[in-house]
Amino acid sequence: MALPENRNLVIYKGDTFSLSFRLRQKQTSGAPGAYVDLTGCTPKAQIRATEDSTTVLQEFTATLGDQTNVDTVGQVNLVISAADTANLSPGVWDVQVTYPDNTVTTYLRGSVTVTKEVTRA
C-alpha cells in the first residue's frame, strides 16, 4: 500500500465541517478502477496537535455510505459539529479504515488550519 494521500483541511470555527470521499481501486494501467466495497469496514478519523501527541483534539463522526447503492459504494463521510469546531485548535489529521480481517489502511492525512469566525450567535 502506498502512503496516504495528503489532504490539508481548512475548518471555519463555529461551522459544521463535512468531508465525503469515495475509495477506488487502481487498475494495473494506473487508471481508476471500481469503487471499493466497504461492507463490514469501520472508518475512524482524528485531529491531534502533532503526529506524536497522545491527546485527541477532535474525533470526526465517521460513517460509510450505503454500500448497496451504486452511487455511494466506497464512500466515507466525516463530520464535525458546529459546537465542536467552535473550540477547535489547528493540528494534523488522518483517516483510517479497518477492514473485517482487521487490516487497517490510512487513506488521507494532512494539516488542519482553523479560521476564526466573524459572525457569532
Instruction: Report the distance separating Cα 75 and Cα 50, nearest Å.
Output: 27
Task: For 28-71, write each residue's pLDDT tens digit.
Answer: 888 888 999 999 999 999 999 999 999 999 999 999 999 999 99
Is residue 1's pLDDT more than 70?
A: no
The pLDDT-based confidence of 120 (bands split at 50, 70, 90) is: confident
Query: What is the mean predicted confidence (pLDDT) over 88-95?
Result: 98
Query: What is the mean predicted confidence (pLDDT) over 89-97?
Result: 98
pTM: 0.92
In this structure, how many other beta carbons lie within 10 angstroms of the beta carbon of residue 77?
16
What does residue 52 show for φ and ψ, rounded to 5 degrees?
-90, -5
What does residue 84 show for φ and ψ, rounded to 5 degrees?
-75, -35
Is 87 among the domain residues?
Answer: yes
Share of the chain above pLDDT 70, in %: 98
Is 121 among the domain residues?
Answer: no
Task: For residue 69, give the CATH number of its domain.
Answer: 2.60.40.10
What pLDDT score does 10 carry?
98
- Cα 7-33-78 angle, rounded to 5 deg: 35
The pLDDT-based confidence of 93 (bands split at 50, 70, 90) is: very high
Is 120 among the domain residues?
Answer: no
| Between 65 and 25, residue with greater pLDDT | 65
Total structural domains in the chain?
1
Domain that holds residue 79: 5-115
Is 25 among the domain residues?
Answer: yes
